[in-house]
Structure 1
Amino acid sequence: MTAEGDVLFEVRGRLAHITLNRPRAINALTHDMVAAIGENLRAWALDDSITTVLLTGNGARGLCAGGDVTQLHGRVAADDVASAVAFLRDEYLVNGLIARYPKPVVAIMNGFVLGGGIGLSGHASHRVVTDDSALGMPEVSIGLTPDVGGSWLLSRAPRELGTYLALTARTASAADAIELGLADTFVPTDRLPALVASLEELAADEAVAAVSAEPFRGAGASGRLTADASWVEPAFAHDTVAEILDALAASDVSSAAETADLIRTKSPTAVAVTLESLRRARELPSLEACFNQELRIMAHALAHPDFREGVRAQVIDKDRTPRWEPATLEEVSPSTVASFFEATDGARDPFPQAAAPR
């Protein structure tokens, strides 16, 4: 085993294993972790003795809570937005590598899988959820928007459930994650050791099929989002946040009004930009074009006051009372939203060969 501090790499037989190793931070990704993962993946792609790559996270709380926002915040607070954007660019390159990897990549999406965790696992060829999986893109809570290819995945989820997740920052259970297209297979937690062991000898398809289970059980049995689709779909099908909030207010379902109240607690600018991002992502020709769009958006979002304020309120002071600029959705103009999609000098497309956004 080769240990590089916060991420471990091991080859056992036919299997190459990546283990995220920051359990106290729910394996939040640093720039160095991203670089190390990319370096090893590129080497393994050329190693004929390796047939499968496995991604797991140490600790019981989850695979990955996302990118290390304290590291990003520190760079932005030091007026080094360019360095923060470079972190994201390198992360997207690894996400894209996983999506097009020439060998099966099996990601065990146990516990919390948020933000950057979706970027690593959501583009894998074999996405395994467990009894306690909770998948989500909570970026609007800190003034950012779903990235790492999350806008591509969520924009293509059925019945506007992806739009719902993006604007509320809520999470999806195992059953919902499969329904939304964020995961493929449910494996009970107690069968995970058997899965890992069998991957050393069997092809990924055989190993996963041997331990998968239907129907869901335990925490994985709750398909709350799917059950709510009857009121989520008509409300979140609108193309402006104002129309969505109006539709939720007009609904006779109590959960709809609660959802509208929840959306209003998020960064108004981030919510408006996120909705536009999802709508544009639906029209993009490839995942790589989506990464390019996401980096443009994030370059603006990292420089916006809401990112610093969101991290202060949620991570640093933890008072959970962010003071957004502007404070309400009604104050976010269409021109402001449009400006987030403009190219900046410091945000080079991670995939310049991909078609430009239309």
Structure 2
Amino acid sequence: MTGTTEPVLLHTRGRTARITLNRPQVLNALNHEMVRRIDAALTGWEHDPDVEAVVVTGAGERGLCAGGDIRAVHDDARDGDGAASAAFWRDEYHLNARIARYPKPYVAVMDGIVMGGGVGVSAHGSVRIVTERSRIAMPETGIGFVPDIGGTHLLARAPGGTGTLLGLTGAHIGAGDALFCGLADHYVPSAALPALLDDLAGMPVPDALARHTRPAPPGELAGRRHWIDTCCAADSVEEILRRLYAHADPDAKEAADTLLAKSPTALKVTLAALRRARRLATLEQVLDQEYRVSCAALALPDLVEGVRAQVVDKDRAPRWSPATLAEVTEADVERFFTPLGGRELGLAGPGTGPHTTG
């Protein structure tokens, strides 16, 4: 194992190789160096016959990963030309796609907080474990950004309107709801994780899981489908809000109040991205789309303002521009999806555009 100051710890034990995200002071937030190190490690282990599975965990007590290093993105967008952020996202999204296609079991331990980029290094894996401590979210609209790292791919495939609600509100969900939405596969009590990791080192992944998997505590989303599906089926954020406020369930009104605090531009672009992601056949096509959206966000004021309000100054009082949904035009939204020419991410390959799956 490398020294404890390394941002990613890598070691092998028995059948497994282990990745530990190791920036607990910032809840293991991902930076470009970490993405590169994880990718290089996956390359080596893919061809190592002694490694039968890869296990990903987070250092510290609070969680796996709070997301990408948004303060660095903020500084780059405010003071630079955005090139560093675009380069980070390029490698991060390639890593997300690689995790989804990794030829060996990729076991993500989604204990504690898992947000944004943390979802990207876990929820695309083939074995995704949640615990009673899991708090999973894609909270980007609250910082003037849009769910990325393949998040719109995952959310667009959640049951009914649940993915739309989660993408727009940025709500945190627990283990039961993560399983219901398809963001996780197995529930293991957090106290059993050390024993599970020991067993993974000594036996095949299915056998280790069989020893420790338990029924998850019930979630909340399934019981709220009566209003979530109806309200979130609308094709505009304004209509979703109208339906939420009109519904008798107080949870619907609470969701509407949450939406009103988010970036109007980010809300409209997120809804468009989710609807378009439903029509794209592969994760790679969605990541290509998300890269266009992310790069466009760098040039507009809400991302810098949102991170300032939530992370830098922490006044929780962002001044969005435009300030209202009515001021965000269809043209404003459409420019987020404009092809980038020679700067495209290109994961889906040349000549592959939107593909309707029916």
TM-score by structure 2 length? 0.96
In structure 2, what residue type is equivalent to 1:42? T
CA contact (8 A) 1:82 1:346 kept: no
Structure 2 unmatched ranges of 5 or more: none
Shift of 1:352: 4.5
CA contact (8 A) 2:128 2:186 kept: yes
Q: How does 1:71-82 map to 2 (within 5 A)?
A: 71-82=72-83
Paired residue for 1:83?
84
Q: How does 1:192-341 map to 2 (within 5 A)?
A: 192-214=193-215, 216=216, 221-341=217-337
CA contact (8 A) 1:92 1:350 kept: no
Paired residue for 2:10?
9
Paired residue for 2:69?
68
What is the distance in 1 between the residues matched to 2:249 and 2:9? 47
In structure 1, what residue type is equivalent to 2:267? V
**1:16 alignment partner, SS class:** strand
Q: How does 1:164-175 map to 2 (within 5 A)?
A: 164-175=165-176
**2:43 alignment partner, SS class:** helix
**2:19 alignment partner, SS class:** strand
CA contact (8 A) 1:296 1:347 kept: no
**1:181 alignment partner, SS class:** coil
227-236 or 105-114, which deviates more: 227-236
**1:8 alignment partner, SS class:** strand
Paired residue for 2:353?
356
Shift of 1:2: 2.8
Residue identity (%): 48
**1:182 alignment partner, SS class:** coil
Alignment deviations for residues 257-278 of structure 1 (CA, whole Å, 9 cap, x no partner):
1211110110000000000000
Paired residue for 2:107?
106
Shift of 1:350: 4.3
What is the distance in 2 between the residues matched to 1:102 and 1:264? 43
Q: How many residues align?
A: 353
**2:202 alignment partner, SS class:** coil
CA contact (8 A) 1:85 1:346 kept: no
Shift of 1:346: 7.2
Structure 1 unmatched ranges of 5 or more: none
Task: Name segments (4+ residues, structure 1) moved above 4 Å.
Answer: none
**2:311 alignment partner, SS class:** helix
Paired residue for 1:35?
36
What is the distance in 2 between the residues matched to 1:347 and 1:314? 30
Alignment deviations for residues 185-206 of structure 1 (CA, whole Å, 9 cap, x no partner):
0000111011100111111121
**2:160 alignment partner, SS class:** helix
Shift of 1:226: 2.2
CA contact (8 A) 1:89 1:350 kept: no
In structure 2, what residue type is equivalent to 1:94? L
**1:171 alignment partner, SS class:** coil
CA contact (8 A) 2:30 2:69 kept: yes
In structure 2, what residue type is equivalent to 1:309? E
Shift of 1:82: 1.8
